[in-house]
Structure 1
Amino acid sequence: MGKEHYAIIDIGSNTVRLVIYVREKSGRFKEIENVKAVARLRYYLEEDNTLNTDGIDVLLKILKSFKEVTDTYDLHQIICVATATIRQAENQHAIIARVEEVSGFRMQVLSEEEEAYYGYLAVVNSTSVSDGITVDIGGGSTEITYFQDRNIMHSHSFPFGAITLKQMFVKRDVPTEKEMYKIKTFLHDQFETLTWLKGKNVPLVGIGGSARNMVQVDQALKNYPLAGVHQYRMYENDMAFIKNYLLTLSFKKLQKVEGLSKDRADIILPALEVFHSLYEHVESTSFILSRKGLRDGVFYEQLTQDFGISMFPNVIEESFTELAMDFDIDYKHVHQATNIALQLFEELRQHGVGHVMKSDMNLLKRGAYVFNLGEYIDSESSSQHTFYLLANRTIDGLVHLERLKVALIASYKSKQIFKQYLEPYKHWFVKEEKHKLKTLGSLLKLAYCFDSTRRSIVKDIQVELEEEDLYIDVYCDQEWMPEEYQVEKQKKHLEKALKKNISVQFHLFRG
C-alpha cells in the first residue's frame, strides 16, 4: 500500500497556510510541504463585520494557487479550517459557498472553543508539560487554555490578536513606548477577567508564528548552537530583553532582524507584549515554544481517535518508538544491551562509583535505546551521525538540554570525540555533569560490547569493588569469545571515566 498523504489549509487573520503531511509507518504524521501566504484578511473586515470584496478576492486567489499544489498529490484527505476573521465575518456563509465554488475546498469555521482545544491538544501530544497554560496569538484573536495533569481545565478566546492590537493602539509601523504601555494596560485588564489565570506558576507554552519568531530572535542573539525551535525554553528576562531591543529599532531595521519574518515586523511588538504580560500575570516558571499548533491538533485528534484515545499516554515513549521505526532499531539487541547497562549502572550506584544517581536511570535508558543510531546511515561514521541526528532532530517530550544529553551519551566513542561534540555546549554543563555524561556514555559502549553478536548470551552480571579495582563476572549460556574480545578492547573507556582498573571474567551460566 502506498503512503497516505493528507493536507490541511489554515485560514488565519494574518496568514493562510497549506501543509501537506505523509503518514509514516509508525502512524505519525510527517510534514513534507509547507506553503504560506500573507493575506492580512483582518484589514478587509469592515466596521459592520463583513469581509469586503477585496478581502474575499485575496483569499480566493491564494486558495486557487493552493489547489494547484494539492492537485499534484493523491490526497487521502483535505481539511480546510478558518479562524477568527472568517468566524467574526457576518457574511461567512457567503464566503464558505464562494470558496467551495472557486477552489473546491469545503471550509470549516472553527468555534473559539475548537480553536483553543486544538492548540491544547497539539501541546500535550508533543511536549512533556503536564501542567501549563497555552497561548496562541493570531491576527484577530488570542486563545488561552489552562491544563492540569494534561487535562484541559479552562479555555478562552480573546477577540484581539496581533493585528487588532496594532489597529487599536499603534499609529505607525512601530509602536512607541507610550503605545506599548497602553497595550500592556489593556492586556492586564483583559487577563484580570479570567479568575483561573492569575498566579498559576506553571510554564507558559506559546503557539503560532509570533511565538516562533520571538524564539528565533532569541536564538540568533545568543548564537544558539542547536537546531530546532520546538520545546525551546525562555525566561522573563529573555522576553523583556527582546522586547526592549526591538523597541529601539526603526521599522526598516526591524525588517532585517535575524529570526524575524519581514511580513511580521509591524505586528511583532504587540504580540511580544501579549506573551510578556501574560507571563507576568500567570507568574510563569518559563516560556516554552510549541512548534505544533492548531493544524497539528486537528491531526492528533484524528490519529488518537484511531487508537480509541484522546491523547498519547507518554509523549517521550511515542517519540522513541517513532525513532525505532524510522531507523530500523533492533529491539532484541536494544533490550539486551539496556538490561546489561542497567545492571552495571545499579552495581556502580550501590558501590558509590562514578557519581551516578537513581535519577540518572531514565537518561541511561533513553541513551541505550538509541545508542549508535547513526549506524543506520553509515557504520564507519556511526558516532558522528548519531550525535548529529539526536542533537538536531526534534524529539517530542524532550527539551533541548535533555535531547543534547541523550545525544552525547548515545554517540559515545571516546573521551576525545566526546569533548569534540561537547565543545559548542561546554558552558551548558558544570564539570560534574560533563563527567557523569562521559561515564554514562562509556558504560553504554561497554554494555553493547556484551551483546556484540546480538545473540543475547549474557544471563547474569555480578560486580565486586576492591579499592582501585572493579571486578565484573559475566555468565553466558553460549560461547563468548567474540563478546570477550570486544569487551577487552573497549573497557578502557569506562576505566578512564571511573579511574579504576576493570577486570572482566566470563563464565558458563548453569541456570
Structure 2
Amino acid sequence: MTNKSAIVDIGSNTIRLVIYKRFNDGRYKEIENVKAVARLRTFLGEDMRLADKGLDKLCHILKSFKEILLYHTISSARCVATATIRQAVNREEILSVIKRETGMTIEILSEEQEAFYGFLAVISTTPADTALTIDIGGGSTEITYFESRKLIESHSYPFGVVSLKQQFIKGDSMSEEERASLVDFLLKEFSKLPWLRNKRVPIIGVGGSARNVAQIDQQQRNYQIAGVHQYVLSGNTVGSIRDQLFPLSYYEIEKVEGLSKDRADIILPAVEVFHQLIHYTEAPYFMISRKGLREGLITEEAKGATNVEMETGSVIRMSIKELCHEFDIQESHSKQMVLIASKLWDKLAELGYWELSTKDLNMLKYSAALYYLGEYIDSESSSQHTFYILANRSINGFFHQDRVKLASISSFKNKSALKQYLEPFSEWFTKEEINTIKEMGALLKLVYSLNATKRNIVKGVEVERNKGTLQMSIYCKGDFLAEQYQAEKQKRHLEKALKTELELNFRSIE
C-alpha cells in the first residue's frame, strides 16, 4: 500500500516542490523535485516588508507548482515558509493573497521548528551520533548541537547567504576589507552561543551551499563515486576552497566546476561561514547531509517525530530494507543469507580462522542481505551491477568509504574482479582491510550457493577441522541437488581465503 505526499518549501533563496511516495511501514521515496530560484530575501526592504514584486513572484511559482500537484492527483500539499516570510511585517497579507490566488495555506515555521526539522533529518539519515549541524539558507542560519542523537541545543540566526551578501559584498567580488568585516561579524555572532566554542565535534552541513562546497571538492579530486550525502571534508579542505574562491569575480566563480550557477553570487559568504565555524568549534571534520528541512517534515509525517528510531543501526536497517524492496530481493532469502553467513562466521571464528570486529560482523550481515542485488538488472553481470549500484547510490547511515566496502563484499565474484573494483580506491583501504573484504566476500559467495534456488532449504550448518581439512555438514529439508552443485563449484574462493581445503557434506533431514 502506497500513497503520495507533497511538501512546498518556501525558502529565502529557493522554493521547492517535492513529492514523495509513502509506504505503510514508514519508508518514503522522493519521486519529484522541482526547484525555482526566487531570492525572496532580496525583495524584503529595510522596513522588513516583502515588496509586491516579490509577492507576485511567489504567487507565480506556487501556481506553477499547483499544476504539477494536480497532475499527480495530490489535492493538497504541506506548504511551509521560513525566514523571509517569517521576518516580513506584512506576512498576514502574504498568507491571505497566496490563499486567495492559489488555494494554498502557508504554514510559517518558527525558528525552533526549522532547526528541529533539520536535526530530525540528520539523525534519521546519517551515522552521526554527536555533532553540530548548520543549515544556512537565504535569510536565516540554524545551528543545532545533539549528543547521543538527542537534541541538546539549537539556535536560529537572522542572517543567511543572501542577506550576508547584501550586507557585506557590494561589487561582483569580495574585497579584503569586506571579508574582514564579515569574519568579525560572524565571530561576534558565534560568541553569543556559549555552548558553541571549542566543541570539538563534527559539523554537518545541510542545504544547497554545503552541497556545492562538496561538489567543488569532488570535481577537483576527480572523485570516483556519485553523491554528496555523508561526504566528508577536512577543515583544511574547506579552507582551501574558500581561499581559491575569494580572489575570483562573480563571472569567474560561475565557471568553477561543481558549483551551481545559481549559487555563484552567494557561495563566498556561505563558505566563509563554514570555514569560521569549523575553526571556532575546532571541528574534526565537515560532513554533508543532503537531507534537511523537507526530509525532517516527511519523516515526521511518515513516522511521527517521537517515533523516529534514533540509533545508527536502525537508520542502516531501514536503508537495507529499502534496497531489498527496490531491487526485489525476497525478504525470506535476505534473512536466510544473513542467518547462514552469521552461523558460518561463528563456526570459523571458533576454529580460529579469523576474527572480525563487531563493525566487520555487522558489515558482513548487511552485505549478506544485499548480496548480488544487481541480479535485478541482469543476472549475467550481477556482480558489476551490484558494485556500481551500491558504490554510487546514497545509502543512509553509511559514510562513502563504508559504502564502497559494502559494495565490494556484496558484489564479490573473485579476487581479480575485487581488485578491479577497488583500483580507484587504493588509498581508502589497507592490505589487511582488503584481505578481510576478500574473506567476507568469499564466504558470502558460498552462502549464496547454499540458497541457489531461494527455497531456504538449508536448516543448519556444522564445521569441523579434521587433519588439515575443513569438513562442512549442511543439513537440508528438501532436494539439495542445485545447492550442492553450486556450492561445490564456488567453494574454491573460500578455500583460497582460508588457505584450507573444504569438504562439503550435504545431508537430508525430515
Q: TM-score, normalised by structure 1?
A: 0.94
- Could you tell me how far 1:26 is from its partner in structure 2? 5.0
Counterpart of 2:209 in structure 1 is 210
Change (3 A) 1:477 1:80: closer
SS in 1 for 2:329: coil
- Could you tell me how far 1:347 is from its partner in structure 2? 2.9
Deviations 1:155-193 (A, max 9, x none): 100011111212222221221233223222211111111
Q: How does 1:52-201 map to 2 (within 5 A)?
A: 52-75=51-74, 77-201=76-200
Task: Please say if 1:418 is aligned against 2:398.
Answer: no
Instruction: Tell me the distance in 1 between the aligned counterparts of 2:119 and 2:358.
Output: 33
Instruction: Tell me the distance in 2 between the aligned counterparts of 1:275 and 1:28.
Output: 32
Instruction: Tell me the distance in 2 between the aligned counterparts of 1:349 and 1:282.
Output: 43
Counterpart of 2:287 in structure 1 is 288
SS in 2 for 1:441: helix
Instruction: Tell me the distance in 1 between the aligned counterparts of 2:255 and 2:24.
Output: 41
Instruction: Tell me the distance in 2 between the aligned counterparts of 1:187 and 1:57.
Output: 33
Question: Which residue identity lines up with residue 483 of structure 2 in the other structure?
Answer: E
- Could you tell me how far 1:120 is from its partner in structure 2? 0.8
Q: Is the 8 A contact 2:232 2:287 kept in 1?
A: yes
Q: Is the 8 A contact 1:354 1:497 kept in 2?
A: no
Equivalent pairs counted in the alignment come to 508
Change (3 A) 1:249 1:351: farther
Structure 1: gaps spanning 5 or more residues: none
- Could you tell me how far 1:450 is from its partner in structure 2? 1.9
SS in 2 for 1:226: coil
Question: Which residue identity lines up with residue 426 of structure 1 in the other structure?
Answer: S
Deviations 1:260-297 (A, max 9, x none): 11121111111111111111222222211111111111
Counterpart of 1:270 in structure 2 is 269
Instruction: Tell me the distance in 2 between the aligned counterparts of 1:132 and 1:357.
Output: 25
Q: How does 1:482-493 map to 2 (within 5 A)?
A: 482-493=482-493
Of stretches 381-390 and 17-26 in structure 1, the one that deviates more from structure 2 is 17-26
- Could you tell me how far 1:429 is from its partner in structure 2? 1.2
Deviations 1:26-80 (A, max 9, x none): 5422222222222111111111111112222222222222222222221154011
Instruction: Tell me the distance in 2 between the aligned counterparts of 1:11 and 1:117.
Output: 17
Counterpart of 1:33 in structure 2 is 32
- Could you tell me how far 1:345 is from its partner in structure 2? 1.6
Counterpart of 1:221 in structure 2 is 220
Counterpart of 1:329 in structure 2 is 329
What root-mean-square deviation, in Å, do the aligned CA atoms of Structure 1 and Structure 2 show? 2.0
Of stretches 8-17 and 477-486 in structure 1, the one that deviates more from structure 2 is 477-486
Q: Is the 8 A contact 1:49 1:90 kept in 2?
A: yes
Change (3 A) 1:110 1:345: same
Of stretches 12-21 and 437-446 in structure 1, the one that deviates more from structure 2 is 12-21
Of stretches 322-331 and 160-169 in structure 1, the one that deviates more from structure 2 is 322-331
SS in 2 for 1:427: coil
Instruction: Tell me the distance in 2 between the aligned counterparts of 1:148 and 1:450.
Output: 43
Instruction: Tell me the distance in 2 between the aligned counterparts of 1:302 and 1:120.
Output: 15
Instruction: Tell me the distance in 2 between the aligned counterparts of 1:206 and 1:136.
Output: 6
Of stretches 287-296 and 418-427 in structure 1, the one that deviates more from structure 2 is 418-427
Deviations 1:384-413 (A, max 9, x none): 221122112211111111111111111111
Alignment partner of 2:307 out of 282, 306, 309: 309
SS in 2 for 1:75: coil
Counterpart of 1:375 in structure 2 is 375
- Could you tell me how far 1:464 is from its partner in structure 2? 3.2
Deviations 1:3-44 (A, max 9, x none): 522222111111112222222465422222222222111111
SS in 1 for 2:380: coil
Change (3 A) 1:5 1:460: closer
- Could you tell me how far 1:358 is from its partner in structure 2? 4.3
Question: Which residue identity lines up with residue 454 of structure 2 in the other structure?
Answer: R
SS in 1 for 2:463: strand
Change (3 A) 1:474 1:190: same
Change (3 A) 1:379 1:179: same
Question: Which residue identity lines up with residue 29 of structure 2 in the other structure?
Answer: K
Q: Is the 8 A contact 1:26 1:325 kept in 2?
A: no
- Could you tell me how far 1:468 is from its partner in structure 2? 5.4
Instruction: Tell me the distance in 1 between the aligned counterparts of 2:352 and 2:153.
Output: 47
Instruction: Tell me the distance in 1 between the aligned counterparts of 2:181 and 2:45.
Output: 24
Counterpart of 1:385 in structure 2 is 385
Q: Taking every aligned residue pair, what percent have the same amino acid on both sides?
A: 50
Instruction: Tell me the distance in 1 between the aligned counterparts of 2:181 and 2:352.
Output: 59
Instruction: Tell me the distance in 2 between the aligned counterparts of 1:347 and 1:237.
Output: 46
Task: Please say if 1:348 is aligned against 2:352.
Answer: no
Instruction: Tell me the distance in 2 between the aligned counterparts of 1:339 and 1:17.
Output: 43
- Could you tell me how far 1:257 is from its partner in structure 2? 0.9
Q: How does 1:437-476 map to 2 (within 5 A)?
A: 437-465=437-465, 469-476=469-476
Instruction: Tell me the distance in 2 between the aligned counterparts of 1:326 and 1:26.
Output: 14
Instruction: Tell me the distance in 2 between the aligned counterparts of 1:221 and 1:506.
Output: 54
Counterpart of 1:433 in structure 2 is 433
Change (3 A) 1:192 1:171: same
Instruction: Tell me the distance in 2 between the aligned counterparts of 1:357 and 1:42.
Output: 51
Instruction: Tell me the distance in 2 between the aligned counterparts of 1:139 and 1:427.
Output: 38
Q: Is the 8 A contact 1:140 1:160 kept in 2?
A: yes
